[in-house]
Structure 1
Amino acid sequence: MRTHRKVLVLFAALASALAGCSSGPNQPDTVAGQFADALNRDDIAAAAALTDDPTRAADSLNGLYDGLGKEVTFEVGSADRNSFTLAATWNLGPDGKNKWSYTTTGTANDTGDGWKVKWEPAAIAPGLDIGPLTYDPVYPKPARILDASGGELMTQQVVTLVNVSQGADTAAVAALIAPLAPGLSAQSLESDLAAAQGKPITAISLRAADIAPVQAALETTRGVTLAPQTRLLANDKSLASPTLSGLDDLWQKSTAAATGWAVRVPIPDGTKRLAGQDAQPTPDIATTLSIDLQHAAEDALTPIAEPAAIVALQPSTGNVLAVAQNAAADAQGPIALTGLYPPGSTFKTVTVSAALQEGSVTPDTVLPCPGVANIEGRRIPNDDNFDLGQVPLHTAFARSCNTTMGGLAVKLPADALTNAATQLGLGIDYVTPGLTTVTGKVPPAATPAQRVESGIGQGQVTASPFGMALVAASLARGSVPAPALVKEQPGVADKTPEPLPPNVDDQVKSMMRETVTGGTATSLRDIPGLLGKTGTAEYIDDKHAHGWFVGVDGDLAFAVFISDAGSSGPAVEAAGRMLRMQR
């Protein structure tokens, strides 16, 4: 039994007003109070029994509660001889936030079988004498979600659910829709129906253009029911960015806030609104996504079998330009935005930044780069054990010399890498409209051995593709940009980083340029002005490694991640495919 908001209020004045009319328990105020109490308890049978026409009252009250719900409070107010007032407040809608309040007048009579409420539907709710009342939401004109150029990215569209019941002609269904659903067959439909234990299943949801050629045939197929509904969808059905889910949530919240409501009663030419609120206008949601770059990023990942992702940002604004994943990554979730992995040698951008800030080295400081080094008990090899001898720091960076970076990191304070990472956005989390992200974690390295591991992007250091794209964008800009997916709605950081000292960003960018012109990413040197850093990050054992590449191309910063790629090579190739498509 519900008790919240179900309070019967009988005013003391009521008893005195009717005291001269009769005596005993069967006064009109008493029967009205009992009637209201029964309604507040949702005991329709008891309420109907207190009227002079229980059958009609029960039918009408059941219809009223079916149409408006049961979140209502009735209160008996004033009375004059045989009449009384009834104040009602309905809490309408799924969350009960829409309120409809009114006051009606009823009568009670001594029927010879005790006092009864005279059954008059309008005494319970305005318009109930005309017909059954219904509550309906009033939706606003659907907003559109736009890309950076103002084109339609997502709009509300009609989709049709193809529902299949037990005993359906599954062979006919499969023949009609299998071309639209690879892997679907009569056998798979039968298997799904068996698992549903007698309930119907939804075989597929189809857009208007896809169902049009087969709709008539489906409508006449045994056991098939078509159920149209509206959904927010990407206009280009090939688009599969993880950002679409967050934009959908943002759109749903905006639509819900603007939705109105109406209580209606049927009339001969339609319905009449008795109460309600109009829907509010909903503005279009303008995003920062570049549709051309998004397609280029998605196409760049298409040939890759392993889970792969690309995140691209605009350093000058923090705008999110593209977030792409291939199908293998989609199966694992939004790894581009929230997946955490060891960043490997791409983290050397942070390591050299920390070392430069400590003041013990410059880009031209000559340092050893042996093929293998034992640092604080940790054996650090270079890729294929290459040995450069004594080289400037910028060369060691461009050639991705692990032994040099491990030697630099071990001499740093415990929190130096943590602080340097934060200066580049890594380890900062944002509350960004339409976007859920995690940048990464760079805990202080308490021991020299931990600093060695962290210095080459291993150990306890983790980053998401989004986090490493933010590192690249911060270097390009000289400070951390606040990311934004919706125009003019930047994310709010959970902490404010210390600014980079002057020239540190320029020094690191110079080393990143050398990585492309004469280091580990020379396959991209045909792209003018490109800056980059490759990364190979071991996980599980030395036989498994993720591949990374982070880069800056003018006002474009990006990160490419490929799970279990074995090396950075596939990530570099994917970056090249994306960038060359844009030229």
Structure 2
Amino acid sequence: MALCVSTVCALALVACGSDDTEAAKAARAFAAAMASQDVQAASELTTSPSQAADALSDTFAGMHARTVDADIRNTVEYSDGTASFTMRTNWKWADDRAYETTTNGSLRRLSTGWKVQWEQGLLKTGMPVGARLQMVRTDATPAPTVRSSSGKAFMQMQPVNEIVIDPAATRNLQRSVNALAAALKPIAPLITPAVINEKIVAAQGGKAVAVTLRDPDMKVLAADPERIAGVTVVKTGMLVMSDRRLSTPLSTGLTNYWQAVRNATSGWQVQEAAPGRAPVKLAGEQGRPAPDIMTTINQNEQLTLGDAVVEVAQPATMMSFDAQTGGILAMAQNDAAADARIQADIAYPTGSTLDPVFGAIDDTAKDAGQAKQRWQHLGLGLTFTVPGVAGPPGGSRPSVSAATFAPQNFTATMLNMGVLGVSVARSLKGETDSVAPHLIKDTPTKVSDGELGAMDQATVARLAAQMATIARRGDASDLTGAPGLRALVGTNGPAGPGWFVGISGGKVIVVYCEGDASGTAALQVAQKYYRLD
């Protein structure tokens, strides 16, 4: 009798394998929703929509895959209203990174149709409830260092502390803001309650980073930030200036370049992450160490420029170039210029500054087309995209139209003015071609809107002579401490901006100031520089 019952039960579970069955269609619909990363559609095709939605949402967010391929194989339907299937899921990212799982699942025929029996193991065999799959980047250590021309560390990865305020985690936000500002005052007095509130608004009422501090800074705070309601300290790493005395607008572009290098050399890892335990590696590759980033920056020059630009209260920005190679030695600006967001590659009116240049070109060029070519061969009217120098999103670009050219309407960037000075300096040393500015060694600058080329020697000779006259008997004649100075000085009217371009001691400096009497301000900054240099 026992044998008979066993045989009857076995016969009751008759298997039927076909892709045309309702069970197979339901399994394929679930796989399609997985491939679309549609949490709602996939979860509603299961026996436990709520549990499935939580698990799928966590894993899709953790994996952040570019594409997901999912297909169903070997669907077998049984006579007891159940079915089984195999699902292959392939998660894909950029750079041919992929992770594949093959899992077994089952379906049940309910009053609402066939549904996938929800199990965590559909995502990965043996994965416990509450766990998720996640893909994380891995970086080789140590991180690359940004180095100056001497090889010294200019910027490097250091541990930092992000002081974060969460409006949702405090009952009295303004009280927390005031307390945080008071705690930060000894080391960051500029982070006032008003500034913190602005950061909260910018974060749309969410968590906001009030300030980022290095480890030594944390020791001089007036109070422990984490004792303030709604405030937490998040430890992380950041590329920072190695010498705390230095500050430069170049740090933004260098950080972007450094991050791009890190991204290009990063590895990846797929993990199984479950609450209360360390993530388990499932697949991936370790990132290769990234080389240090070698620059043309001179740290002493950077310190000198930083001391020079604070000579005036109005916006002042200054750049220094190697007079032979065009390498960017330093860039600095005062707080007023930083607030005005003045950048090296935004075009500003030059006013009378370039009158000697246009005069020299007019005296030697045969026609407008030749004149435009000579402007470009001196670096004017061109756009320079310098790796490591942050460009403005949608910022203005220098432009020259020979047909409609008017000196008073001409605009140039600080990079344009730097190339102009370097071109004259090179000509004085017997060089015949102009060179583009650069910051990262062995990384070329992109030149657009025209071409650099061989300089017209007659034009440059006339210009160099006029620059020497300006330094001896003109607007720059009061400057001291700059042997052999050749200069251009000018403004765009009483309200500025004002410019100074100087060649002396194997370096070219460019000073740009805004506001009333900006030409005088530019000369003041230049004089402070030559006294310090």
The 8 Å contact of residues 242 and 334 in structure 1, kept in 2 or not, is answered as: no
Q: Which residue matches 1:150?
A: 151
The 8 Å contact of residues 377 and 455 in structure 2, kept in 1 or not, is answered as: yes
Q: Which residue matches 2:530?
A: 579
Kindly indicate whether residue 218 of structure 2 is the aligned counterpart of residue 218 of structure 1: no
The 8 Å contact of residues 419 and 436 in structure 2, kept in 1 or not, is answered as: no
Q: Which runs of 5+ in 1 are unaligned?
A: 1-18, 359-411
Written as runs of structure 1 = structure 2, the 5 A alignment for 1:361-510 is 413-415=367-369, 417-436=371-390, 440-444=398-402, 446=404, 454=407, 458=408, 460-478=409-427, 479-494=433-448, 495-510=450-465
Q: Secondary structure at the match of 1:511?
A: helix
The 8 Å contact of residues 301 and 325 in structure 1, kept in 2 or not, is answered as: yes
Higher mean alpha-carbon deviation, 114-123 vs 36-45, is at 114-123
One-letter code aligned to 1:486: I
Q: Which runs of 5+ in 2 are unaligned?
A: 1-13, 78-82, 428-432
Cα distance, 1:484 vs. partner?
0.7
Kindly indicate whether residue 28 of structure 2 is the aligned counterpart of residue 33 of structure 1: yes
Cα distance, 1:104–1:425 mapped onto 2, change above 3 Å: same
TM-score normalised over the length of structure 2:
0.79
1:297 to 280, 300, 305: 305
Q: Which residue matches 2:46?
A: 48
Q: Secondary structure at the match of 1:338?
A: coil
Cα distance, 1:97–1:244 mapped onto 2, change above 3 Å: farther
The 8 Å contact of residues 417 and 442 in structure 1, kept in 2 or not, is answered as: no
The 8 Å contact of residues 530 and 552 in structure 1, kept in 2 or not, is answered as: yes
Higher mean alpha-carbon deviation, 114-123 vs 173-182, is at 114-123
Higher mean alpha-carbon deviation, 255-264 vs 493-502, is at 493-502
One-letter code aligned to 2:69: T
Cα distance, 1:581–1:127 mapped onto 2, change above 3 Å: farther
Cα distance, 1:234–1:481 mapped onto 2, change above 3 Å: same
Quick one: distance in 1 between partners of 2:43 and 2:26? Answer: 15
Cα distance, 1:31–1:423 mapped onto 2, change above 3 Å: closer
Q: Secondary structure at the match of 1:476?
A: helix
Cα distance, 1:501 vs. partner?
2.9
Count of paired positions: 493
Deviations 1:460-483 (A, max 9, x none): 222223221211111111332121
1:512 to 462, 467, 470: 467
Please tell me the root mean square deviation across aligned C-alpha atoms, in Å.
3.9
Deviations 1:78-120 (A, max 9, x none): 457875432111245xx79743223334466899999776766
Cα distance, 1:117–1:466 mapped onto 2, change above 3 Å: closer
Kindly indicate whether residue 139 of structure 2 is the aligned counterpart of residue 139 of structure 1: yes
Larger of the two Rg values belongs to structure? 1
Deviations 1:492-526 (A, max 9, x none): 22222452233543443233233323433222354
Q: Secondary structure at the match of 2:140?
A: coil
Q: Which residue matches 2:6?
A: none
Higher mean alpha-carbon deviation, 545-554 vs 265-274, is at 265-274
The 8 Å contact of residues 161 and 233 in structure 2, kept in 1 or not, is answered as: no
Cα distance, 1:439–1:151 mapped onto 2, change above 3 Å: farther
Cα distance, 1:318 vs. partner?
1.7
Deviations 1:118-155 (A, max 9, x none): 76644542452587233122233322222222222222
Deviations 1:8-66 (A, max 9, x none): xxxxxxxxxxx9837897676455435434544533443432xxx88876775565445
Cα distance, 1:75 vs. partner?
0.4
One-letter code aligned to 1:571: A
2:515 to 540, 564, 567: 564
Cα distance, 1:340 vs. partner?
1.0
Quick one: distance in 2 between partners of 1:99 and 1:537? Answer: 58
Higher mean alpha-carbon deviation, 180-189 vs 525-534, is at 180-189
Quick one: distance in 1 between partners of 2:344 and 2:293? Answer: 22
Quick one: distance in 1 between partners of 2:488 and 2:50? Answer: 81
Deviations 1:442-475 (A, max 9, x none): 43255xxx7xx62xxx2x2222232212111111
Quick one: distance in 2 between partners of 1:191 and 1:249? Answer: 25
Quick one: distance in 2 between partners of 1:33 and 1:196? Answer: 42
Quick one: distance in 2 between partners of 1:534 and 1:112? Answer: 87
One-letter code aligned to 1:523: D
Cα distance, 1:188–1:269 mapped onto 2, change above 3 Å: closer
Cα distance, 1:333–1:107 mapped onto 2, change above 3 Å: same
2:329 to 321, 329, 335: 321
One-letter code aligned to 1:159: N
Cα distance, 1:314 vs. partner?
1.5
Quick one: distance in 1 between partners of 2:272 and 2:251? Answer: 39
Written as runs of structure 1 = structure 2, the 5 A alignment for 1:334-345 is 334-345=342-353
Quick one: distance in 2 between partners of 1:161 and 1:281? Answer: 30
Q: Which residue matches 2:3?
A: none
Q: Secondary structure at the match of 1:321?
A: strand
Cα distance, 1:346–1:194 mapped onto 2, change above 3 Å: closer
Written as runs of structure 1 = structure 2, the 5 A alignment for 1:21-170 is 21=16, 29-30=24-25, 32-37=27-32, 39-40=34-35, 41-42=38-39, 43-49=41-47, 61=56, 64-65=59-60, 67-68=62-63, 72-78=68-74, 84-91=85-92, 98-106=97-105, 121-129=120-128, 132-135=131-134, 136-141=136-141, 142-157=143-158, 158-163=160-165, 165=167, 166=170, 167=172, 168-170=175-177
Quick one: distance in 2 between partners of 1:214 and 1:127? Answer: 49
Quick one: distance in 1 between partners of 2:506 and 2:189? Answer: 40
